[in-house]
Amino acid sequence: MSVLLWILLFSLLGGVLSVIAASLFLLIPEDHHPHLLPHGVSFALGSLLSVAFLHLIPEAAQGVGVGNTEMLFATVLAGILGFFILEKLLLWRHCHAGDCETHGEGHFHQPAGTLIVIGDVIHNLVDGVLIAAAFLTDIRLGIVTALAVAAHEIPQEVGDFAILLQSGYGRTRALWYNLMSSLGTVVGGVAAYFALERMNGVLPYVLALAASSFIYVAVADLIPSLHRRTHLSAALQQLVMIAAGIALIVMVNHWTEGRHPETPRTASVISR
């Protein structure tokens, strides 16, 4: 199967399917959401951090060579600061609970819903670029990256659905807008495929930005939301789900390694 087809399939997984999964979650009675959503957030935390530190950064370091790692880690730092600025400008939405300061009751209004849609489009375009860069480097890396994107997209989309509904959107309209914005993942992935295949030297730095994105979401958003539950039992449940997220990424990587043992790293774009 060609690299472009891999990118198309897993961009859909990270975008459209996560919206559908989030919409199915909304069918569960609302009084169960506070108990179930933190499990999804914990699972996403484990998958994001494991992909960033066990796959993306080592792969990027291998791509630039030992002598250029300083610039690579500077790229990770710049990416984290850049995502902080984007979130400050309200272009990046990653709230997973209804009681956060920005999204709490009394803060929902029509412009907020519109901003959520715009932010999702930008977010999904970037996700598509990150997925494409990972697949252009290695098929296995692309798969685990797309799974990590999907894992954190589902709880985010649940939060976005809640914001749109509270902003006055009907359920059908909210679903339609989220589905349309999720196609940005496919658009970003395809555009990056044709752009990045001619710039192999840029791929390690795009992977570094992908890692900084995952680290920022995990540290600045997911971890604080989990700290709201302070009971020992809640902490143990969170640790179990974090471990499950890490284990899934490790198992998927091990499973795909047997199926794609000879996949070239940065040369895959040449032999597509």
pLDDT in the model for residue 7 = 93
Q: What distance in Å separates the CA atoms of residue 55 and residue 132, rounded to the nearest whole number?
A: 15
pLDDT of residue 88: 75
Question: What are the tokens at 195?
Answer: 């752009």
Secondary structure of residue 168 in the 3-state scheme: coil
pLDDT of residue 22: 78
End-to-end Cα distance, the chain: 9
**Ordered alpha helix ranges (H), the chain:** 3-14, 16-25, 33-51, 57-64, 69-88, 110-137, 139-166, 171-196, 203-216, 223-226, 232-259
> Residue 213, Cβ neighbours under 10 Å: how many?
26
pLDDT at 106: 42
pLDDT of residue 176: 87
The series of mean pLDDT values per 10 residues for the chain, 272 residues long, is 90 83 76 75 87 89 83 93 79 48 44 66 86 91 89 77 72 84 90 84 87 87 82 88 89 69 43 38
The predicted structure's pLDDT at residue 90: 58
Residue 266: predicted pLDDT: 44
- In this prediction, residue 251 carries a pLDDT of 85
